[in-house]
Amino acid sequence: MYHAELFSYFVQKCLYGSIIIYKLLVGIIERLNLFEATFINVATGEEVHEVDFFLVGQYLTMQYFPIVGLGILLSGMSLVLGFFVLFHLYITSRGMTTNEFFKWRDVRKLYRSQKPIDRPRTFPLNMYDNG
């Protein structure tokens, strides 16, 4: 269970970093008043008065790329590590290892692919499943 706690710690830190970066970017948007600003289209030279989230996001990405990139990286890592922790907590609660989980999944697929006449009446149970 130590590893689940360790990964849970990493998920918390990545999520915390994502929230801090989000608040930092919102602060930049408010400080620079980006939704009220006038942008110039480089290709046409026209002024753009209708500012939307895409335009503000594009501006932030170009001006503050390291911050935006780190925010995207931390958010992605939070999701991936979060699902990893949840999956392993699930299989731990079922009394299985990762290897057993995937082997039993293959057994179920093979069992369901057989014709009803060929397969036995009862499905083989996991001998480690106490719940």
Q: Per residue in 4-25, pLDDT tens? A: 677 778 888 888 999 999 999 9
Under DSSP, is residue 39 helix (H, G, I), strand (E, B) or coil? strand
Q: Which residues contact 101 (CB under 8 A, 6 or more apart)?
A: 91, 94
**116-129 as b/e, with b when 16 or more CB fall inside 10 Å?**
eeeeeeeeeeeeee
Q: Please give the pLDDT value at position 122.
A: 61
Q: Do the Cβ atoms of 56 and 48 come closer than 8 Å? A: no
Give pTM, 2 decimals. Answer: 0.69
The span from the CA of 46 to the CA of 96, in Å, is 62
Q: Per residue in 46-60, pLDDT tens? A: 988 888 999 999 999
Q: Per residue in 76-131, pLDDT tens? A: 998 998 898 889 888 988 888 889 999 988 888 887 777 666 555 565 566 666 65
Q: Please give the pLDDT value at position 1.
A: 55
How many residues are recorded in the chain? 131
Q: Please give the pLDDT value at position 115.
A: 64
Phi, psi (deg, nearest 5) at residue 108: -60, -40
